[in-house]
Amino acid sequence: MPKLDFTATPEIEQDFDKYFYFHRANTSFAEAYVDIHECDALASGSSIYFNSSTATAAALANSSVLAAGVGGAIAGAMMDAIFGSSARRAQRRQNVRNCMYFKDYKRYGLSRDLWTEFNFEEGMGRKKEGVRNDALALQALVASGPAPTTKELGL
């Protein structure tokens, strides 16, 4: 069972929109695993990619400004790495939150250090299935484990 006890500070609390866990009373591990796995799958199906238009690249190449096209592609990749990955992580978090809320799970805040022990973030690519499934199993263990003693956060 991952460690969940920590002392909340204002700095930690301001990141509860990113770092949290779910719990539902009277839920078995098997139920929680199916639920978190389903919500992860739903959230993984969405993606945001900035500056990924092939039409723009083709137009630049056809008008003899290939150097500008290459520079634009590099700039686009950098912008996507900086802003796109952040947007994808935020979108995934929100989709999982909505899905788990729909399934009557409550959400509780957690410090970043404890959160990283049994969660993952994806912004630049999908985690390998073994890593993903191990993390989801730990999340299900927490979601079906002892009742939290901290304040519920809501959706």
Q: Could you read off the pLDDT of 96-128 as tens digits, one per residue? A: 999 999 999 999 999 999 998 988 776 556 667
Q: Report the number of distinct structural domains present in the chain.
A: 1
pTM: 0.71
- What is the per-residue pLDDT across 22-65, written as a single tens digit (0 to 9) for each? 999 999 999 999 999 999 888 877 544 444 455 555 554 555 55
Residue 152 forms part of a structural domain: no
Residue 134 forms part of a structural domain: yes
Domain coverage including residue 14: 10-143
Residue 62 forms part of a structural domain: yes
Q: Which residues contact 138 (CB under 8 A, 6 or more apart)?
A: 2, 117, 118
Residue 65 forms part of a structural domain: yes
pLDDT of 52 reads: 47
Average pLDDT value for the chain: 79
Residue 88 forms part of a structural domain: yes
